[in-house]
Amino acid sequence: MYTSTYKRIESPVFDGTKLPVRVDLAHADLVDPRHVLFSPQAKRKDEIFNQRFFADPSIPIECGKLVMEKLPQEDVFVARLLIKPKDRVVAQLPEELSWVTPFLQRCIQYEVFLTEGKMDYFWYLTVRHGSTSLLGNDDVWHCDGFQSMHEACVPRHRPERNYVWTSEDATEFNLTPFFIEHLDSAKYNAHLHFQKYAVESLTVKGRAQNVLMFDPYQVHRRPVMHEPKHRTLLRFSAIDAMIMDDKNTQNPHIPVPKFNRLDIRDTFVQDVYAGDSK
């Protein structure tokens, strides 16, 4: 049985009595997003999630350098905070996170371009601002947004997009082709396959203090660190289906019900291929 080792970090509680911060592009530090037009990520964005795309490795898209001048003194950990439902066009942030606005403006600019103004995705924000010793096991090869065929999961839908900014030690990507088209994702954990078969020499490093965009078919990790250090990671996710996880940080301005769902990571058998002992 696969047992999840991901550490759970207490989420902050935001003050819902203050007005939400609205994110708009009026004062954004604009970067031309047209260079994404012919990227693999743009071409496959409207195709329902399909495991065959893992055989086509690709590099992340650089959405430009971004200097974040107002990083807070104290640690901040926010897990998948919903900042915009699918049917709205305005993002709403708790006031305590207003310092993230320049990052969000950059991401939203690309989303407006890619969705031709529709922005018909749920938007989530993750913040990890503190010691890497407090983080989970994201220093192993994995992807963000794998859509399992497990019966507890929602039906497959369009792939998500993730935009990541790191203060240092930028995210690493692996360009190994992974042939998992026929992997039974209801039974096996694809991430174990990535970790086992990723070729280390096919690693490329992103640039810190740049916004990097990637989709679920791009296997990546936080660089392996031998000593814990202070690091900031900001992640904006545009997702076709709501993340029904009670461990998400709650946005007082966009309340969601309690979901009481199963963590399917605890239901997987140990290895990807039965009988494979390599």
The pair phi, psi for residue 82, each rounded to 5°, is: -70, 120
| Options 60-68, 105-113, 138-146, 192-200: segment touching Fe ion (CB under 5 A) | 138-146
Tell me how far, at minimum, the Cβ of 49 lies from Fe ion, in Å. Answer: 16
Residue 74 CB, nearest approach to Fe ion (Å): 24
Q: Which is nearer to Fe ion, 221 or 253 (CB)?
A: 221
Which CA distances in Å does 135 have to 190, 222, 230, 233, 277? 21, 10, 11, 11, 30
Amino acid at 174: N
DSSP reduced 3-state for 100: helix
State how beta strands 91-93 and 21-23 pair: antiparallel
Nearest to 234 by CA among 86, 89, 67: 67
Q: To the nearest whole angstrom, how small is the minimum distance from the Cβ of residue 70 to Fe ion? A: 25
- CA–CA distance, 218 with 124 (Å, rounded to integer): 19
Helices in 166-264 by DSSP H: which ranges? 190-197
When CB distances to Fe ion are compared, the closest residue is 144
Note whether 112 and 221 are within 8 A (CB): no
CB of 50 to Fe ion, least distance (A): 20
% helix / strand / coil in the chain, to the nearest 5?
20, 20, 60
**Taking CB under 5 A as the rule, does residue 144 contact Fe ion?**
yes
Which of 144, 215 has the CB closer to Fe ion?
A: 144
How far is the C-alpha of 5 from the C-alpha of 230, rounded, in Å? 21
Judged by beta carbon, residue 144 or residue 169, the one nearer Fe ion is 144
Decide whether 144 or 240 has the Cβ nearer to Fe ion.
144
User: Which of 27-35, 75-83, 140-148, 197-205 is the region at the interface with Fe ion (rule: CB under 5 A)?
Assistant: 140-148
In the bound complex, what is the minimum distance in angstroms from residue 14's beta carbon to Fe ion?
24
Element (DSSP H or E) covering residue 43:
helix 40-43
Q: Is residue 172 within the footprint of Fe ion (CB under 5 A)?
A: no
Q: Which stretch binds Fe ion (CB under 5 A): 25-33, 120-128, 137-145, 172-180?
A: 137-145
How many residues of this chain bind Fe ion (CB under 5 A)? 1
In this chain, which stretch among 73-81, 136-144, 175-183, 206-214 interacts with Fe ion, using CB under 5 A? 136-144
Which residues 246-275 are close enough to bind Fe ion by CB under 5 A?
Answer: none
Comparison of 106 and 221: residue with beta carbon closer to Fe ion: 221
Give me the residues that bind Fe ion (CB under 5 A), please: 144
